[in-house]
């Protein structure tokens, strides 16, 4: 393109533009932009009108439909820029191409009342990412541009699924974009102007999914009013809008969706889970109550693993969700309390497996505590085999009639695994204890302040030997060395004797950990007292150094308490 022409359009200089009147179609940039593209891109309405005015009908149509290297027309660029007047002028120009009577005086201001073929084609053109001008106008929330585009062609379309509503490369339609971004007025505009606009979004989601996720009740109502069929449409995971409403615990949305169509509560996702089971999995007890009140029989459904809603609540350790079911009128149903999944596990098995202290379940007189899964294990067997579940182990065998297994069967494998874990952790203890022993050993022979070497004193005598801080340093350093070496010795004896049983190894492990932790504290005190003895002539600096060193105990004390409060006294 001629540089003078390009600059003239950039700056909106009509006079220079007129000099190239007969070259509009051939003047193209490296990116295949025409004069109309540039005028639209820079937002010069007078240049747009001048180009349209000076072009013949055939030339005008060519300029309007011409796409650049990115697949964009002048209308696409104007829509993306939000240039309302330019969008209006381009649409009027397209209408005049199919209605020559408007082109007699080369005027572009009159609006045709019927959508022409050129207008439909121009609005339906997509760029390289399959975005139409309506996509861009919605994306950037240019309300007036959206209304102009909708008024220009949709009322006269016989096929309401025209290309202007196709899905772009990202899987989005204009309606979905408006719903996802919370543009309720644009959603209403598209629904009011189009009988059946496409509503797809990425991942198989619909505009209704997006509205529910945004928790926009008014938008949800509008979509259901116009397209009630969306309520049962699912995404690629099989989730309907109700699944999302329950997952996000949007109670008003759950109520609204159920009011429109109760049957959506029975729709299963790809894993066979209903919205109620999604509520159980994620612990949304309030939404669960609403679903059970509206559709009580949906509690009967099981997922692809054969698990009912109580299974899922317990499996995912949501006690409130489990109690929501156990305290309802369904609490006496055998098929709910003792239902078996594909592995033969009842809810009680899962509670024992995951250590969920669900007293409502365990204390229920309807629970079958002798039920065995496909591994021939009762709930108590599972509890013994995996962990010490206090609720199960503290219950009276005679009352509940449970079958205990021997420790060799139920606990050996678990005990071996625990010892292996402790042995791996002890490696880190060994490194820390060895490091402390090395540091304290070296500090014992490199005393702070140095040693006397003159004949008036016994050679090798510490210069600061009479200082209280120095004496405290020597004592705490020796204590830290003793404790760390003791921890190393305990581990040495353990490995030499080859202990593999859980309890003795566990006791020794915690004892060695206690000694190592204490040696760290003693080492920090030794450091503080050593610094104090050297800096006795500068007490201010000595105090600051001691305070910094002692700040370690802010971490040491509470974490040591947490550690040892969790350890049973029997272990020591």
Residue-wise pLDDT for 478-491, tens only, equals 888 888 888 888 87
Q: What is the pLDDT of residue 9?
A: 85
Q: Find all residues with CB under 8 Å of 362, minimum gap 6, and list them.
A: 348, 351, 391, 392, 395
The distance in angstroms from the start CA to the end CA of the chain is: 89
> Percent of the chain scored above 70 by pLDDT?
79
Residues 354, 357, 359, 362: is their CA dihedral positive or negative?
positive
The torsion region of residue 130 among left (phi > 0), alpha (psi -120 to 50) and beta comes to left
pLDDT, average across residues 367-380:
84
Taking a C-beta distance cutoff of 8 angstroms, is the pair 177, 135 a contact?
yes
Task: Tell me the pLDDT tens digit for each residue of 138-168.
Answer: 999 999 999 999 888 754 434 444 444 578 8
Q: Is the pTM of this model over 0.85?
A: no
Taking a C-beta distance cutoff of 8 angstroms, is the pair 362, 326 a contact?
no
CA distance 298 to 118: 53
Taking a C-beta distance cutoff of 8 angstroms, is the pair 337, 347 a contact?
yes
pLDDT of 472 strictly over 80: yes
Q: How confident is the model at residue 326 (pLDDT cuts 50, 70, 90)?
A: confident
Least confident of 95-109, 255-269, 296-310, 494-508: 95-109
Q: What is the pLDDT of residue 498?
A: 59
pLDDT, average across residues 177-188:
93
CA distance 331 to 333: 6
Q: What is the pLDDT of residue 396?
A: 42
Could you write out the DSSP letters of every residue in 199-250? -B-GGG-BHHHHHHHTT-HHHHHHHHHH-GGGGG---TTS--HHHHHHHTT-
pLDDT, average across residues 391-397:
48
Task: Tell me the pLDDT tens digit for each residue of 83-131.
Answer: 999 999 999 898 887 765 544 334 333 333 345 788 888 988 999 999 9
pLDDT, average across residues 35-63:
87
Structural domains for the chain: 1-163 (1.25.40.20), 332-410 (1.25.40.20), 414-571 (no CATH)
Q: What is the pLDDT of residue 408?
A: 37
Q: Residue 462 pairs with which residues in a beta bridge?
A: 451
Q: Residue 206 pairs with which residues in a beta bridge?
A: 200
Taking a C-beta distance cutoff of 8 angstroms, is the pair 327, 321 a contact?
no
Half-sphere exposure of 414 (CA within 13 A, CB side): 15
* Nearest CA-CA partner of 206 in 226, 186, 236, 185: 236
């Amino acid at each position: 393109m001629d540089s003078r022409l390009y600059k003239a359009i950039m700056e909106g200089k009509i006079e220079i533009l007129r000099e190239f009147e007969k070259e509009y179609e051939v003047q193209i940039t490296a990116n295949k932009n025409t004069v109309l593209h540039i005028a639209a891109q820079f937002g010069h309405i007078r240049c747009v009108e001048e180009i349209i005015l000076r072009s013949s009908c055939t030339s005008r149509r060519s300029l309007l439909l011409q796409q650049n290297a990115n697949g964009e027309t002048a209308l696409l660029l104007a829509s993306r820029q939000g240039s309302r007047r330019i969008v209006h002028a381009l649409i009027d120009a397209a209408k005049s191409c199919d209605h020559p009577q408007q082109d007699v005086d080369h005027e572009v201001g009159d609006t045709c009342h019927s959508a022409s073929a050129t207008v439909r084609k121009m609005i339906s053109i997509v760029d390289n990412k399959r975005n139409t001008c309506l996509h861009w106008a919605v994306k950037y929330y240019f309300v007036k541009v959206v209304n102009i585009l909708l008024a220009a062609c949709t009322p006269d379309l016989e096929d309401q699924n025209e290309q202007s509503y196709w899905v772009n490369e990202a899987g989005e339609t204009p309606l979905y974009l408006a719903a996802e971004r919370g543009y309720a007025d644009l959603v209403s505009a598209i629904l009011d102007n189009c009988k059946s606009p496409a509503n797809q979004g990425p991942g198989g989601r619909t505009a209704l999914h997006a509205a529910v996720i945004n928790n926009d009740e008014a938008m949800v109502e509008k979509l259901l009013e116009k397209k009630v069929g969306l309520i049962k449409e699912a995404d690629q995971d099989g989730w309907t809008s109700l699944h999302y409403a329950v997952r996000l615990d949007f109670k008003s949305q759950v109520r609204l969706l159920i009011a429109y169509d109760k049957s959506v509560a029975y729709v299963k996702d790809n894993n066979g889970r209903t919205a109620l089971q999604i509520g159980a999995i994620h612990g949304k007890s309030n939404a669960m109550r609403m679903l059970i009140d509206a559709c009580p029989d949906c509690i009967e459904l099981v997922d692809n693993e054969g698990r009912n809603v109580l299974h899922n609540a317990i499996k995912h350790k949501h006690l409130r969700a489990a109690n929501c079911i156990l305290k309802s009128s369904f609490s006496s149903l055998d098929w709910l309390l003792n239902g078996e999944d594909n592995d033969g596990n009842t809810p009680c098995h899962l509670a024992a497996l995951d250590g969920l202290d669900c007293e409502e379940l365990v204390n229920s007189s309807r629970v079958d505590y002798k039920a065995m899964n496909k591994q021939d294990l009762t709930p108590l067997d599972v509890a013994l085999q995996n962990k010490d579940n206090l609720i199960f182990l503290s219950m009276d065998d005679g009352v509940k009639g449970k079958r205990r297994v021997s420790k060799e069967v139920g606990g050996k494998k678990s005990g071996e695994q625990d010892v292996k874990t402790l042995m791996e952790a002890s490696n880190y203890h060994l490194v820390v204890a060895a490091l402390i022993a090395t540091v304290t050993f070296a500090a014992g022979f490199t005393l702070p302040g140095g040693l006397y070497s003159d004949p008036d004193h016994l050679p090798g005598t510490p210069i600061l030997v009479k200082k209280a801080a120095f004496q405290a340093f020597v004592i705490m350093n020796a204590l830290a060395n003793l404790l760390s070496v003791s921890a190393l010795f305990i581990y040495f004896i353990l490995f030499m004797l080859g202990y593999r049983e859980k309890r003795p190894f566990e006791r020794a492990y915690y004892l060695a950990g206690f000694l190592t932790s204490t040696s760290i504290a003693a080492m920090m005190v030794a450091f503080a007292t050593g610094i104090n003895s050297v800096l006795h002539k500068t007490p201010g600096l000595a105090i600051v150094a001691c305070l910094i060193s002692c700040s370690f105990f802010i971490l040491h004390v509470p974490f040591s308490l947490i550690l040892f409060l969790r350890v049973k006294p029997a272990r020591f």
